[in-house]
A and B are shown apart, each in its own frame.
Chain A
């Protein structure tokens, strides 16, 4: 399989898997700092080491790092946990129209529970409209939650400007960095972010683990009741092997990955543009993640393209309604002002450090045939 769905999940680095496996077999006790046997204490030490290591990478302190089960859980805990703990200060939340479903569904639940939510629009390239954001902030706004970069088109938000607007007003800021970190750099201290979601399986780490940075002093309410794990913010036994795997993923991250990814992404884009007619970029090449490329093949439908590519051993995703469980076209592309047709014909290629130019060459050859075939039977071309 030529795997171009790395924005969904990456293949874990073999070294990550090895460490996790060794750890799982040896350090199986629950982490306990006091009142425990020595194995529990040893596990606690290992987890603390991982927590401190990750914190150090982010330039923050270990007691600001909370381990959850996923990026989705981190987003839920950040948004709902913050809203519940701070509702006495106000009940207004601001987000954007192109967020991940775990953010959108979290704020929708809060809406049903009596909070008010403003959904700020984006421009054609997927950048949050800063004037609209500014105008949306009110005296009773308690939280702004936006993503660092978009999971479908890769557009990286202007975080400096966003945080300036939000922090000036003394409003808390949650950033969903699930798809963006560590592909793009972020200075937590400088930007004044209060909450940050990180998802290690997006960068060769394990699944089943999410990270939530909670700035010291930020009040959030726990959503999962039970024990006092994770600073009493998230009950339940930590996924300890995955924490070790997450630490390893951070250790193995190398900024040269970004160079490689950007190079093969541009190579892919240029060949598409040159060799297949009527291909349009969704998003932007500037200020975009190095590994996400989203294009529309005009006049044809994305599920058909994705399926035909799958038959040829190439895995991609599409923003087409036909591909989604709810039969809705991508809300991201529609918010960017794309038509339903353009959304239906969109394909996302998301690359990894394992991908090569040869894989792209093969994909282009197959795509030429597929697009040609599908256009031949498409009624939209009117016999063209």
Chain B
């Protein structure tokens, strides 16, 4: 076995649940991209009265942990309200799968991200979110706390890789305490850009490596 997956991960990988599309979905999101190696499209059908997720389907371009996490997360959200679904994390999915190898956390986060984005989008669409807020240092830190250090599976804020964050009229400057040539530098930078580039008031993101 190239990677130490649990039996449950392999079961879900071999026979994933809820695969497919929902043509009349209330919300459909795609997270990740083929370039970063993993991509998920998630479809939700939501009861407008009860706000319960009545149907969920996904399609995945990705590795085993990506497929398995998407499979279990779709199992977990079925029948839940959107508010409940918002609180389901990749950790819940990973636990439900009996654990995931740390190096694979990166791939499994995507399914949870897709779920959260889908719920956010649904809320936005239906006028259920507050006004756009300006991007603050705290907000940037919050987003960075979703970026994993693939080596440890611990996010780059908690593992103190992020040294400083400055936000100044649309320019976000992030200093990382790792070398530009370190094993995961490119990967982490790519993730940071993905997390921040769509914030409505962010014009430029500078990632600086300082060992």
For A377, the chain B residues whose CB sits under 8 A away are 16, 19, 59-60, 67
B61 touches A301 (CB 8 A): yes
**Residues from chain B with Cβ under 8 Å of A310 in the complex:** 1-2
| Interface-facing stretch out of A115-123, A181-189, A250-258, A318-326 | A318-326
Q: Out of A306, A311, A323, A340, which one reaches B34, CB within 8 Å? A: A340
Known: A307-B13, A380-B61. A322 touches B107 (CB 8 A): yes
A326-381 residues with Cβ-Cβ distance < 8 A to B are 326-329, 339-341, 344, 376-380
- From residue A293, how far is it (CB to closest CB) to chain B in Å? 19
Output the residue of A299, A376, A378 with the most chain B CB within 10 A: A378
Q: Taking the complex as formed, is A300 at the interface, i.e. its CB lies under 8 A from any CB of chain B? A: yes
Across the interface, which residues of B come within 8 angstroms of A323, CB to CB? 2, 63
Greatest chain B CB density within 10 A among A304, A306, A320, A329 is at A304
* Stretch in B80-88, B130-138, B181-189, B201-209 touching the partner: B181-189
A134 within 8 A of B: no
Q: A307–B34 Cα gap in the complex (Å)?
A: 19
A304 to B64, CA, bound (A): 5
Q: How many residues of B contact A (CB 8 A)?
A: 36
Asked whether B103 lies within 8 Å of A325 as measured between CB atoms, the reply is yes
Residues of B within 8 A of A340 (CB): 34-37
Residue of B whose beta carbon sits closest to that of A325: B103
* Alpha-carbon distance between A339 and B171 when the two chains are bound, in angstroms: 30
Given contacts A326-B150, A326-B184, A344-B37, contact A376 B19 (CB under 8 A): yes
Contact check, A378 vs B35: say whether CB atoms are below 8 A apart. no
Instruction: List CB contacts (< 8 Å) of B59-75 with chain A.
Output: 59-64, 66-67
Tell me the minimal C-beta distance from A333 to chain B in angstroms.
Answer: 13
Residues of A within 8 A of B103 (CB): 325, 327
CB neighbours of A306 from chain B (8 A) = 2
Interface residues of chain B, those whose CB is within 8 Å of chain A, are 1-3, 10, 13-14, 16, 19, 21, 30, 34-41, 59-64, 66-67, 103-104, 106-107, 150, 181, 183-184, 186-187
> Could you write out 18 A-B pairs with CB less than 8 Å apart?
A301-B63, A303-B63, A304-B63, A307-B3, A307-B13, A311-B14, A321-B36, A322-B63, A322-B66, A322-B104, A326-B150, A326-B183, A327-B37, A327-B106, A378-B60, A379-B41, A379-B61, A380-B34
